[in-house]
Structure 1
Amino acid sequence: MTGIDSVQLERVIVHKVGNPTRGEELKLSENPLSLNDPIVRNLLARYFLAPVNENEQYQFTHISDLDLNEVYHYVKGIFDEPKQFALQSAMLAQFLYNKSTHVRVKEGELYVAHFSNVPFGTEYVEAVGLFKSETKETFLKVFPHGQSFEVGAEDGIDINKLDKGCLIFKKERENGYVVCVVDQTNKQNDAQYWVTDFLQVARSANSYHHTNAALGMCKLFISNEMAEKFEVNKSDQIDLLNRSMDYFKTHDAFKMDEFATEVLHHPEMIETFTQYKHTYEQAKQVSIDEEFDIHLSAVKKQERFFKSILKLDKNFHVYIHGRKDLVEKGYDEMRNMHYYKLYFEEES
């Protein structure tokens, strides 16, 4: 998250949340942290907020009534009556404890924080943060002992590795607030209790969401689906990946028909891509508009996954950034091996 230095950490309380199926307890704090040390206050703010991507936004949801979403209800109580902060935080901890029954859910500390002066677009707003630390690291501590030094080991939290987080901006209350989510420990959907069971949030269908999802779809189509349906080699795939990324970098808006014509060209491939879009949306449970404004932050995020590297056995890695017409593939019958020819004007 950008602009962390402007944020004021008003109050924070810590509760211990275990996994009830393992007999672990819920231990509630009565009072917030003192936060008398400004260094600790600033370290906590950075630990909580640095991993947050403010462009990737969610909103609280509920199948029938938004106010029946427990986290939404308790956070709204903090915004409406800050004096109830400790009570509402205890309700949040209790609810998380009730949802921590998956076998992979680890015991950890739940931090509930109240911020002011949080950057949101062109303004500054209040925000409530929910953060859980599950992973403990072992640190060495050097301390004086007489005229010498000794070294001891202590378990603690790495302030550069937030396990789970949620930042709720005091904006768009009637739509479920604007929510940003961090879940570093369950990226493979092993235990999505934090997002699905506890927070009950859904992605906001904004330009960032559409851009991010469309680029992810393009990469999977070119890398997997296209190779199964058409005769293409790795250099062809890399060329299409490069052309796809160039389209998003050089256009202000995505238009499905325009993209298909400029990047894919061939009618059969365009038809397959159109069909794949519907399959992708169903499998990923996302919706990608036919037209949307391109969000450059999403393009930058996805760019690192668009690898333009042609790997040849264990001997060569060839980076291809464009000009497919200067790459030629062949087969040498004498050597019984494939080869590539690369045409260039000068060596640097």
Structure 2
Amino acid sequence: MFYHQDAELDGLIIHRVGNKSQDEFYSLSEKPIDISFDLILPDLLKQYFLSPFSKLNEVYRFFHPNEELNLNEVYHFTKQFFEEKIGFQDYSEQVVKHLYEASTHPKIKPGEVYVVNLKNVQQEGEELNAVGIFKSENKETYLKVYPQNGGFELDYEQDAINVNKLDKGVIIINTESEEGYKVLVIDQTNQSEAVYWKDEFLQIRPRNDAFQQTGNFLKVYKNFVNEKLEDAFEMDKADKIDLLNRSMNYFKTKETFDNEEFQEEVLSNPKAISLFNDYKQEAEEDFDIAFQSNFSIANQAVKKMESTYKSILKLDKNFSVYVHGKRELIEKGFDDEKGMNYYKLYYENEK
């Protein structure tokens, strides 16, 4: 999961790149933009550049078909920048020149390219530095209403950018450089020319390692239990907690995940299994991720997700009951005389 709330924009430069096949050229700025004096602009830019990445689950890595990472241009220049072998200005220019060379499809739109040096972004629980490369291709017209002479006047602004609609972007996080870095990518284009951003310019492929598989599965399963199951089954909070505890216990006691084994040991019910398989398939399509039937369980990912698996029954403002297992030792009922719900707990020893 990507968090940007504490991120800082430590450098920003804007270039423009055209379509090479249309004989459009690129235009390079001579220096970065100073936004330190502005109280509003940094937050707007963070919303524009970084907010779209907060919902991404898929993490990519750079690669090259020849298995030589340094032949990947963006990886090569990014590594030089992170290792302080080239400066921010030089890095941004090299990136834009490479993007121009990759912009050969006749339908690729020209646009501004923002190269941003980022501090204090968080990815998978680590606070790290990163660089971002963002491209704006689509402009909009905005109406502006303002008070004047006891009434209101109307104006407009053409070719403006909507800060809630990032066209293309990539964030390269300064970690695991020898494996191709952790790379997050956004591309809102759904046409044939869209492949150039990921395939031609960046040359990336999904990381899809044990950490990613473990974390993604536990997130999707938790959402399934909390959001979907009660629509099909009569369940109370204790039932949900039991299903979450059983899944967490599976991941804490196994070294390898097996999909059929998990379904039999944790879900058990054929209808619930079918619903979960449908829910997983929807998640794959919505978040562009792929679940494997078998994978090694990453303990670090399990520990990270364990804190989000709530096992507490909160009863009004009077009681909080921690449930660690054995659902059969908890009974729920309704007292007609008091007109209140109750839970009955069975135990052997009091500590």
Specify the TM-score bucket, using the shorter chain as the normaliser: 0.5 to 0.7
- Answering whether residue 181 of structure 2 is matched by residue 177 of structure 1, we say yes
Deviation at 1:147, TM superposition (A): 6.7
Per the alignment, residue 29 of structure 2 pairs with: 29
* 8 Å contact kept, 2:15–2:113: yes
Aligned counterpart for 2:131 among listed residues 117, 120, 128: 128
Aligned counterpart for 2:144 among listed residues 141, 144, 147: 141
Deviation at 1:196, TM superposition (A): 0.8
* 8 Å contact kept, 2:2–2:121: no
* 8 Å contact kept, 1:10–1:114: yes
Q: How many angstroms apart in 1 are the aligned matches of 2:171 and 2:3?
A: 14
Q: How many angstroms apart in 2 are the aligned matches of 1:142 and 1:31?
A: 35
Summarize deviations over 1:288-332 as a string: whole Å, max 9, x none: 35235497999xxxxxxxxxxxxxxxxxxxxxxxxxxxxxxxxxx
Q: How many angstroms apart in 1 are the aligned matches of 2:146 and 2:196?
A: 41
Aligned counterpart for 2:65 among listed residues 50, 63, 66: 63
- Which ranges in structure 1 are unaligned for 5 or more consecutive residues? 216-237, 240-245, 274-279, 299-348
Per the alignment, residue 39 of structure 2 pairs with: 38
Q: How many angstroms apart in 1 are the aligned matches of 2:245 and 2:193?
A: 34
Other structure's SS at 2:87 match: helix
1:8-157 to 2 correspondences below 5 Å: 8-35=8-35, 36-53=37-54, 55-64=57-66, 65-81=68-84, 84-143=87-146, 149-154=152-157, 155-157=159-161
Deviation at 1:106, TM superposition (A): 1.3
Amino acid in the other structure paired with 1:159: V
Summarize deviations over 1:89-120 as a string: whole Å, max 9, x none: 11111111111111332111111100111123
Deviation at 1:207, TM superposition (A): 4.5
Summarize deviations over 1:206-252 as a string: whole Å, max 9, x none: 3575479989xxxxxxxxxxxxxxxxxxxxxx98xxxxxx9999624
Amino acid in the other structure paired with 1:40: L
Distance 1:170 1:212, change over 3 A: closer
Summarize deviations over 1:42-80 as a string: whole Å, max 9, x none: 211221111114642111101231011000111112212
Per the alignment, residue 251 of structure 1 pairs with: 247
Q: After the TM superposition, list the runs of 4 or more consecutive aligned residues in structure 1 that deviate by more than 6 angstroms.
A: 144-147, 211-215, 246-249, 262-266, 284-287, 294-298
* 8 Å contact kept, 1:89–1:112: yes
Q: How many angstroms apart in 2 are the aligned matches of 1:210 and 1:91?
A: 34
Aligned-residue identity in percent = 39
* Number of matched pairs: 261
1:148-227 to 2 correspondences below 5 Å: 149-154=152-157, 155-186=159-190, 191-207=194-210, 209-210=212-213
Other structure's SS at 1:5 match: coil
Q: How many angstroms apart in 1 are the aligned matches of 2:135 and 2:183?
A: 16
> RMSD between aligned alpha carbons?
4.0
Amino acid in the other structure paired with 1:165: G
Q: How many angstroms apart in 2 are the aligned matches of 1:95 and 1:293?
A: 38
Deviation at 1:41, TM superposition (A): 1.4
Deviation at 1:14, TM superposition (A): 0.8
Per the alignment, residue 242 of structure 1 pairs with: none
Summarize deviations over 1:167-219 as a string: whole Å, max 9, x none: 11110011111111111223x6652111111110111123575479989xxxx
Q: How many angstroms apart in 2 are the aligned matches of 1:82 and 1:143?
A: 50
Amino acid in the other structure paired with 2:260: D
Summarize deviations over 1:5-28 as a string: whole Å, max 9, x none: 311110011111111222322111
Q: How many angstroms apart in 2 are the aligned matches of 1:264 and 1:105?
A: 50
Distance 1:264 1:40, change over 3 A: same
Q: How many angstroms apart in 2 are the aligned matches of 1:141 and 1:157?
A: 14
